[in-house]
Amino acid sequence: MGISERKEREKEELKKAILDTAFEMFVKEGYAGTSLREIAKKIEYSPATIYLYYKDKDALFFDIQIKCFKDLIHSYRNVVKIENPLEKLRQMGHAYMKHNINNPQCFNLMFLHDSPLGAFKREDRMEKYGNAIGFLRETVKECIKENLITEKNEMIVRLEVWGLTQGLTVLMVRKSYEGMGLTKAEAENYIKLCWDNYLDRIRV
């Protein structure tokens, strides 16, 4: 069965080529700025061919989002090793914000772009950022268990942590700091201070 295996391999290679090219363009130009025709031209196939591998633009976009989430989770690789849960939470926040500020378009695609998310089943979505959510949940749980923070309601902490880091990131990515008379570098410094400040306040 060597032939059919080779064919299978070739198909997967083409699918990967589509995905990689699409990723590059989505990240550079955003969702609206990326056209399937351009992707097709870059990989030297007809636009129709893409439809043999992806149902439509949103199905392709969904896989792009997954790739973005994988990259995000990968940026946690040094954080997961940290012993102290509160320090782990702190580094997690910093890693999260830093990664997204450095990859603003990925952040857009993951959290800010709207339409296609709703088109997929809840389970599909779950799987996407399931790991990231789980990591946060476990770390918060450890912090409470080891009596490192004053707030004992796990959900409250999770929402505050997520809300604050997410909000500060949006502030950076959308350049809202400009309206406050800050440069990007200044704002980035303040963001870090905010996050450390918050953790210092909730620590026991």
Partner DNA sequence: TGTTTTACTGAACAGTGTTCAGTAAATTTG
Partner DNA sequence: CAAATTTACTGAACACTGTTCAGTAAAACA
Interaction of residue 34 with a second copy, rule CB under 8 A: no
d(CA 86, CA 164) in angstroms, rounded, equals 16
Rounded to a whole number of angstroms, the minimum distance from the CB of residue 14 to a second copy is 28
178 binds, among DNA, a second copy, none (CB under 5 to 8 A by kind): a second copy
179 binds, among DNA, a second copy, none (CB under 5 to 8 A by kind): a second copy
Interaction of residue 148 with a second copy, rule CB under 8 A: no
Q: 3-state SS of the chain?
A: CHHHHHHHHHHHHHHHHHHHHHHHHHHHHCCCCCCHHHHHHHHCCCHHHHHHHCCCHHHHHHHHHHHHHHHHHHCCCCCCCCCCHHHHHHHHHHHHHHHHHHCHHHHHHHHHCCHHHHHCCHHHHHHHHHHHHHHHHHHHHHHHHCCCECCCCHHHHHHHHHHHHHHHHHHHHCCHHHHHCCCHHHHHHHHHHHHHHHHHHHEC
- Residue 119: closest CA among 174, 61, 72: 61
Which residue's CB is nearer to DNA, number 2 or number 179?
2
Site for DNA in 128-147 (CB under 7 A): none
Site for DNA in 41-100 (CB under 7 A): 44-49, 51-52, 56-58
d(CA 69, CA 131) in angstroms, rounded, equals 9
Interaction of residue 3 with DNA, rule CB under 7 A: yes
Which residue's CB is nearer to DNA, number 11 or number 203?
11
Site for DNA in 9-38 (CB under 7 A): 10-11, 14, 34-38
Q: Which stretch binds a second copy (CB under 8 A): 1-9, 50-58, 78-86, 177-185?
A: 177-185
- Residues of this chain that interact with a second copy (CB under 8 A) are 30, 32-33, 108, 111-112, 114-115, 117, 122, 125-126, 129-130, 133, 137, 151, 153, 155-156, 158-160, 162-171, 174, 176, 178-180, 182, 187, 190-191, 193-194, 197-198, 201-202
- Residues of this chain that interact with DNA (CB under 7 A) are 3-4, 7, 10-11, 14, 34-38, 44-49, 51-52, 56-58
